[in-house]
Amino acid sequence: MSNKVLIGIIIMLLAAVFSYRNSNNDKSIIISDKKSIQEKLDLQIIDSLPIPKGTCTTCFFSINEDDFNKSRYLWIDNSTGQGYMKINGKLEEFEMNEGFADDKSHSWSSKNNKYKIEMTLSEISNNGNYFGGVYKPSQIFKGSIKIKSDDDSQYFEIYGECGCLK
């Protein structure tokens, strides 16, 4: 057998082996070999308030001003250092321990055993009012929030208020 024929046979065998390997390299096989499938972060409106109405020193945020005016909140926190967000159908509670209530930067981070949140705000207006002779402080903010899990992260703009929950 000549060298040209032998080289041709070897090339055809290698091509057959590689094409067979690629045809069996199905994405579902690759995904099923992973230890865990990625969890996508599905953020939802908090449909029941975890904080009683009338509570002061509370912050509550929405995606935009229109959602905020319709009480469609994505984030709610209180003066005890607890924050709440509904993720993948479950109301998640967060400890707000890094930078909480930092008046200079208006930023903080929160975490629980699944997620970490980083929030940065800038004050738009001071919206405090007197109710029954008592001054109730309130500030309107715009900012951003980033939520991270082991497998995913999302960043979005937010609009909200810190003060007394109406």
What pLDDT shows up at residue 10? Answer: 65
Kindly report the pTM of this predicted structure.
Answer: 0.66
- The domain spans of the chain are 3-32, 43-163
Question: C-alpha distances in angstroms, 120 versus 38, 83, 99, 135, 140?
Answer: 27, 15, 10, 26, 13
Task: Report pLDDT for 11.
Answer: 64
pLDDT in the model for residue 57:
64
Partners of 18 in the β-ladder: none
On whether the CB atoms of residues 138 and 164 are closer than 8 A, the answer is yes
* pLDDT score for 16: 53
**Residues 125, 131, 134, 136, CA torsion sign:** negative
pLDDT of residue 79: 67
Give the closest residue to 121 by CA, choosing from 146, 154, 149, 90: 146
Q: Give me the pLDDT at residue 86, please.
A: 92
In this prediction, residue 24 carries a pLDDT of 44
| Helix or strand run (H / E) with residue 21 | helix 3-23
Distances (CA, A) of 52 to 60, 138, 158: 13, 17, 22
Predicted confidence at residue 47, as pLDDT, reads 78
Residue ranges in the chain modelled with pLDDT below 70: 1, 3-39, 50-57, 79, 97-105, 165-166
What's the pLDDT tens digit per position in 104-124?
Answer: 667 888 889 999 999 888 888
